[in-house]
Amino acid sequence: MSLLVVGSMAFDSIKSPFGEVEKVVGGSATYFSLAASYLAQVRLVSVVGKDFPQEIIGMLSSRSIDTRGLKIADGETFRWKGYYEYDLNTAHTVATELNVFRDFAPVLPEEYRTSPYLFLGNIDPRLQMDILAQVQRPKLVALDTMNYWIENSPGPLREAIGKSDIVIFNESEIREISGEYNLVRAARKVMGWGPARVVIKRGEYGVLHLSDGTMFAAPAYPLETIFDPTGAGDSFAGGFMGYLASRDGSELSEMDYRLATMYGSAIASFAVEAFSTDRLQNLSPADIAERVDAFRALTEFQV
């Protein structure tokens, strides 16, 4: 079933202990769409400048991602510059240039308005609210954000969280937004604002997934080679939402949410093996299924 995503498309400049790249393709919607495209029909809403490579848009379309909601505007594409130290779980932002996002007022194509699954990716919470106002109530709305928006736009962000069913935050974000250090208490607080589920991304320590009365913890896959953690969070969200959308509208069970968490973790584990979207572009369904199986073996035990 269709999965609508709004988020950033970007040029990233990234330094990690393993190398440095300038002006590579990134953005929350780019990683999310690619990851989700292995499991669901993705509809993309974003904006890029005329400087954005046409072949990347072609590559997204070739993966059956619907790009009718992608605007190509006069001006420059959004840019993010950041670095990682040996703690790859923490991205340090050096610069954020909104560029074409400053004046972006998305108008959803008519067919997009009834999309049953919606992911409000990391972007200005006012845009997230704008999209919410244009869709008929989807079956499921999930939201992600970043410290930049927690600090610059707390009011609209809190409003958008209140209208979401699931939030997918990393651990520093949920601590900052809730004012609670303990992750279980932080999740309870956020659930008090509206969402029924909270998914906390903990980088190389995996994912903690909570709802009222349930808790599920998944490890991250222990990789030998990690080049660039950028996009891991959005790739996780793409795999997670893609799996839920692939359930074809059936009532979602706790086990569906758990399996969605494992699909998200499997796809994210590929994303970090290369800089930019290089590895995500070239997966096969068999690669993903094998990694989900490897996760099962990693955590299986008997008493």
CB of 154 to ligand AMP, least distance (A): 14
Q: Which of 205, 218, 238, 233 is nearest to 294 (CA)?
A: 218
CB of 265 to ligand AMP, least distance (A): 13
Q: Count the Cβ atoms, other than its own, within 10 Å of residue 192.
A: 9
Interacting residues toward ligand AMP by CB under 6 A: 8, 10, 12, 26-28, 31, 80, 96, 122-123, 146, 148, 230-234
| Residue 99 DSSP symbol | G
For 8-56, give the DSSP string: --EEEEEEETTEEEEEEEE-HHHHHHHHHTTTSEEEEEEEEETTS-HHH
CB of 251 to ligand AMP, least distance (A): 29
Residue closer to ligand AMP (CB basis): 116 or 230: 230
Angle at 246 between CA 240 and CA 248, to 5 degrees: 135
Residue closer to ligand AMP (CB basis): 157 or 186: 157
Cα-based torsion angle of the residue sequence 170, 176, 182, 184 in order, rounded to the nearest 10 degrees: -60
For 250-287, give the DSSP string: PPPPHHHHHHHHHHHHHHHHHHTTSSTTTTGGG--HHH
CB of 111 to ligand AMP, least distance (A): 25
Residue closer to ligand AMP (CB basis): 115 or 230: 230
Residue closer to ligand AMP (CB basis): 80 or 270: 80
Residue closer to ligand AMP (CB basis): 8 or 178: 8
* Residue whose Cβ sits closest to ligand AMP: 26
Rounded-to-integer distance, Cα 286 and Cα 215, Å: 29
CB of 25 to ligand AMP, least distance (A): 8
